[in-house]
Amino acid sequence: MEIYTYTEQENQRIDVFLAEKLDLSRSKIQKLIKSGDVCVNDKVIKKTSFLLVQDDKIKVSLTEDPEEIIVPDDDITLDIVFQNQDFLILNKPAFLSMHPTNFSQSNTLANYLIKYFPNLKNVGEDKLRPGIVHRLDKDTSGLLIIPLNNESFFEFKTKFQNKEIKKTYIALVSGKLKEKQGVLDIPITKSQQKFNRRKVAVVPDKFTKEAITEYEVLREFKNESLLKVNLKTGRTHQIRVHFAAISNFIIGDTEYGSTKVNKKYDLNRQFLHSSQLDFNFKNKEYSFSSDLPKDLSNILENLKS
């Protein structure tokens, strides 16, 4: 039994609160709530959207689940850029989620990884995220590191935490930037209205995290700018939130972008591609690059013409 007291003045969803307190997947938290294992002020709560108020007493009954693994899936062929005994470098296509939210879900990158690399089920800290040490948004394409054993998993995790891995993206944004090379140092926090959405932290709160994005303008078009973007921190949706904050929206972004702008382009996802990874692993330097996929390169060709 886990017992908490909600001390904040602002209301907060019960599922968001528990996600901060418990080392559990989102699906597990939702399952706990819907199965009646969560009480607020000694009353069972079954709505994941229930709003907590200051001084609420929360009780969570936790039971051990039998060992579960995600469903192996072979609907796609993995685009493996590099492989050794310690890690893979993959080129993730757009429209593919990183991992499932429950053990019956399929058609995610993790499901395909388990099919071709069964031992990954024991790699990492979450059975729903085997071998996943960093991530790309569902509709973002490009390069990913997949550790193949726990030793490399925790080494890469430390490298990401210490900002020792250089991640470079190519992005197309609306408008032109006054500074052709610059840094966006804008803290990001969680939205309390929508799960997994982020926003600029105008007033810092307990969820606020440092977020730093470096960019360089590679080419300007009439109403667009092609950028090379380096992440100095790896916050959820960081690039998309940062450029939305300065009104240079990522083209095609339906969550943080501009509907009016997006209508001008034949693109059904954000123009964002993980194009390069650079890091040192076991005293060896590695550098991997990935060309723009066809849907994005077509947009550039149309703009050039």
Residue 72 covered by a domain = no
Q: How many CA atoms lie within 13 A of 225 on its CB side?
A: 20
Terminal-residue alpha carbon distance, the chain: 64
Please give the residue range of the domain that contains residue 44. 2-60
Alpha-carbon distance values, 171 to 186, 239, 250, 264 (Å): 18, 9, 7, 17
Which residue, 113, 141, 161, sits at the end of a domain?
161
Alpha-carbon distance values, 55 to 39, 47, 52, 60, 125 (Å): 14, 19, 9, 16, 32
Report pLDDT digits (tens) over 103-148.
889 999 999 999 999 999 989 988 899 999 999 999 999 999 999 9
More reliable by pLDDT, 73 or 294: 294
Residue 189 covered by a domain = yes
Among the ranges given (31-35, 51-55, 81-85, 296-300), the one the predictor scored with the smallest mean pLDDT: 31-35
pLDDT at residue number 9:
86
Which residue, 123, 140, 161, sits at the end of a domain?
161
Report pLDDT digits (tens) over 165-182.
999 999 999 999 999 999
pLDDT at residue number 195:
66
Residue 8 covered by a domain = yes
Query: pTM for the full model?
Result: 0.76
Residue 117 covered by a domain = yes
Residue 40 covered by a domain = yes
Q: Would residue 137 show up in a list of annotated catalytic residues for this protein?
A: yes
Residues 209 and 266 in one domain: yes
pLDDT at residue number 21:
87
Torsion, Cα of 247, 253, 255, 257 (10° steps): 20
Residues 187 and 297 in one domain: yes
Residue 67 covered by a domain = no
Separation of alpha carbons 250 and 257, rounded Å: 6
DSSP letter for 14, please: H
**What average pLDDT does the structure give for the chain?**
92
Residues 20 and 144 in one domain: no
Q: What's the CATH number where 41 sits?
A: 3.10.290.10
Residue 69 covered by a domain = no
Q: Are strands 2-5 and 224-231 parallel, antiparallel or unpaired?
A: unpaired
The number of folded domains in the chain is: 3
The answer to whether 298 and 283 are in contact (CB under 8 A) is: no
Residues 170 and 157 in one domain: no
**In which element (H, E) is residue 111 found?**
helix 109-116
> Which residue among 15, 137, 139, 253 is the active-site one?
137
pLDDT at residue number 181:
96
Residues 178 and 288 in one domain: yes
pLDDT at residue number 146:
98
Residue 142 covered by a domain = yes
pLDDT at residue number 28:
81
